[in-house]
Structure 1
Amino acid sequence: MSRWIYLLKRVLMSIPVLILGTTITFLIIRVGPLDPAAAIIGPSGNPQTYQAIRNQLGLDKPIWVQYYHFMINLFTFHLGHSWVINSGTSAYVLILQYAPRTIWLGFWSVLIALFVGIPLGFYAGMNPNTPSDYLASFGGIVWRAMPNFWLAVILLSVLSQSQKFFFGFDWLGWLVHTNVVGPPDLSHLSNPTNLLAAIKKIAPAALVLGSSSMGNEMRIGRTAVLETINSNYVETARAKGVPSRKIFWKHIFRNALIPLIPVITGEAFILLGGSVLVETVFGINGLGYLFFQATIQGDLPLIGALMFIFILLLVVVNILQDLLYTIVDPRVGYEET
């Protein structure tokens, strides 16, 4: 089976998942307690205005009619317009306005997790039962155990009063002056000063968001290396006199990456779930914040559009994960996956 046929099969298999996910989303937002008409008219509205708005929004139609239009619009990528947050504004416009901040946050959180978690885990695995191994293992457990919302609040408090906690070190004025709370300025990133300010502004939130995945990668990476260095093919390579550096890159590194693939791709799940809390605490005002505001204000089209995008992203990540398995581990054939 060619890789393209394998990819096509995975795409076709993901369609029922996408349909089920959007159906559950519809049931939650249409049958649940959210009432956009009440959010639009406010507490001072009268029953006649309330009913008129419900008629205008189509909420008075049978539930199956609403479901049909909801699914058709989403699967044809007609995401509709906001009802409450910015009435009449296209969901595309709002998503494009808020998405760059979430992408910027996600990029640095994944980068921190990959370039801190995996190297520390591999280093601990290559040097077992040493002080550095104990320190890395303990750090991975601590980072994994701290909830995102708790760590975000603590880090926000500490950095806001950094001169008190860090013996006079001023985080706000270090390198470039920035606040701890607020969205990063992503305009003119070609300017080194603006780029540095945007990185510094997102760093605390990225550290919080990437902490859970970083701890997982450290622990799983250490275990994977320990299992690999004791395998028969590594012992055989050592007996043949293969240099240690070559053994690591050719045999240990690639095989130890296999159990890390679901952890790395699973960072997309952490990004989607954790960004709502982290963006709210740090005032990033990205897609997580937009989703939170749409939920509490009952903006049904915007909730549906964002959930559809989130579900679609997770389906794509799962397909990518299956493909990565076949690339990293040649023993996994297309017929077997």
Structure 2
Amino acid sequence: MSRWEYFLRRLLLSIPVVFFGATATFVIFRFGPIDPAAAIVGEAATEASRESYERTREQLGLTQPVTDHYVEYMRDLFLLNLGESWVISPGTSTVDLITTYAPRTLWLGFWAVLIPIFVGIPLGIYAGLNANTRIDYAISMFGIVWRAMPNFWLAVILLVVLSQSGQLFGFSWPDFLVDTPVTGTPDLSALGSPSGFAAATKQILPAAVVLGSASMGSELRIARTAVLETINSGYVELAKANGVSQRSLVWKHVLRNTLVPLVPTITNEAFLLIGGSIIVEVVFGIHGIGYLFFQAAINGDLPLVTALVFVFVLVVVAMNLLQDLLYVLIDPRVGYDGR
């Protein structure tokens, strides 16, 4: 099996996963604890309200046989006809709400992925190249601490520290470089200007550090282990015996092979963006997808909840496909010998 046949096979296998996720959203809508019609019109206490209740059930397809409703629901879902919000913004399309809130989560996710890559991986590689030294022990301890801290705890601690930075460090974080609040949604409308980019970046950095904290520790540890395994491998020893320079050895052999085990760690951060971003966005007051999902769930906005669950399924599948694609590009062995 060639590498690209392997990737095509993985692409085809993702289709039933998407259907399973879509079916799960249908089950939530049809058989969940919330009565969709009652959530819209209230309890059917009077004759008029009972008539309104029945009309709403018919409009939602709840009076149809389950199979007919399932087919209609799946058709609308894959056509991105995801209904309208009931509570958060009554009458507003869920797609419009998601596209409004999604850029803020993407901005948070961008930095939450970038910070561990440019901090955790270089530290892990440096520790691996200097194994069993004081700097290796210090970096390893740093990775363990960052990996162990729960992001909800770290979020609260960081929020308190930044709010009291003037008393603790002698400078005020909100006034540092550009004026931004410690919490709140960053303004992404001015990213094209240097001042707007700086303000949006500074305001999102504390939340990004918290969201990427677990990934930073994991990437550091995995990078260190991969470097140690690569350095002690036979082909590296052979390259050393042939007089290959240390710089060439690191760049041509060590770094490339270090990336292979890091691929799933980096791509799996999509799961952190789904689960962790809910907590982080609520704590820091960022009105992103996680915050929207939290508000929809506690207010019983069923169409918005099911739409967001379907979007989360698509994100997870897309990240898994990206992981497979990166494997194909980085490791030429993928796809052969039944792998």
Same fold (TM over 0.5): yes
Q: Percent identity?
A: 61
Larger mean Cα displacement after TM superposition, 18-27 or 268-277: 18-27
Give the Å deviation of 1:315. 0.9
Q: Which residue in the other structure is 2:178 paired with? A: 176
TM-score (norm. length: structure 2): 0.92
1:125 and 2:140 correspond: no
Question: What is the match of residue 289 of structure 2?
Answer: 287
Q: How does 1:5-154 map to 2 (within 5 A)?
A: 5-41=5-41, 46=45, 49=49, 52-53=52-53, 54-55=56-57, 56-154=59-157
Q: Which of 239, 243, 246 is the equivalent residue of 1:241?
A: 243
Matched residues, number? 335
Distance 2:133 2:42 in 1: 63
Partner of residue 296, structure 1: 298
AA partner of residue 18 (structure 1): V
Q: Secondary structure at the match of 1:172?
A: helix
Partner of 1:160: 163
Deviations 1:148-173 (A, max 9, x none): 1111111111111112332x221111
- Bigger shift: residues 63-72 or 258-267: 63-72
Provide the C-alpha distance between the structure 2 equivalents of 1:36 and 1:187, rounded to a whole number of angstroms. 36
1:2-47 Cα offsets, whole Å, 9 max, x none, are 665444322221111111122223323442323444544569x846
- 2:28 and 2:323 map into 1 onto residues whose CA distance is 29
With 271-280 and 18-27 compared, the bigger mean Cα shift is at 18-27
SS of the residue 1:139 aligns to: helix
Aligned-residue offset at 1:295? 1.4
* Residue identity in the other structure for 1:20: F
CA RMSD across the alignment: 2.1
CA contact (8 A) 1:35 1:298 kept: no
Tell me, yes or no, if the aligned pair for 1:184 and 1:284 is still in contact at 8 Å.
yes
Write the letter of the residue equivalent to 2:218.
N
Alignment counterpart, residue 256 of structure 1, candidates 258, 267, 273: 258
Distance 1:156 1:184, change over 3 A: same
Distance 1:65 1:84, change over 3 A: farther
Which of 176, 184, 187 pairs up with 1:185?
187
SS in 2 for 1:184: coil
CA contact under 8 A between 1:38 and 1:50: conserved in structure 2? no
Structure 1 residues 32-76: Cα deviation after superposition (integer angstroms, max 9, x where no partner): 323444544569x84653772442444454544443332221122
- In structure 2, C-alpha distance between the alignment counterparts of 1:78 and 1:334, rounded to whole Å: 41
Matched, 1:306 2:308: yes
Counterpart AA for 2:295: Q
Given that residues 121 and 221 in structure 1 are in contact (C-alpha distance below 8 angstroms), is that contact kept between their aligned partners in structure 2? yes
Q: Identify unmatched segments of 5+ residues in structure 2.
A: none
C-alpha distance after superposition, 1:271-316 (max 9, x if no partner): 1111111111111100111111111222222222211111112112
Query: Is this contact kept in 1: 2:4–2:335, CA < 8 A?
Result: no
Q: Give the counterpart letter for 1:13 in structure 2.
A: L
The one-letter amino acid of 1:299's match is D
CA distance in 1, matches of 2:82, 2:106: 20
Matched residue SS, 1:189: coil
Given candidates 271, 279, 291, the residue that maps to 1:277 is 279
Indicate if the aligned counterparts of 1:108 and 1:203 stay in contact, CA closer than 8 A. Answer: yes
Give the C-alpha shift of residue 191 in structure 1.
1.8
**Contact 2:3 2:335 survives alignment (8 Å):** no
Asked whether the equivalents of residues 29 and 300 of structure 1 are also in contact (C-alpha less than 8 Å), the reply is yes
Give the TM-score, by structure 1 length: 0.92
**Residue identity in the other structure for 2:185:** P
Q: Which stretch of structure 1 is more off in the superposition, 103-112 or 295-304?
A: 295-304
Matched residues in 2 for 1:110 and 1:249: separation?
A: 23
Unaligned runs of 5+ in 1: none
| Counterpart-to-counterpart distance in 1, 2:144 and 2:325 | 30
Q: Deviations over 1:67-107 (max 9, x none)?
A: 33322211222222222211221122111111110111011
3-state secondary structure, aligned to 1:180: coil
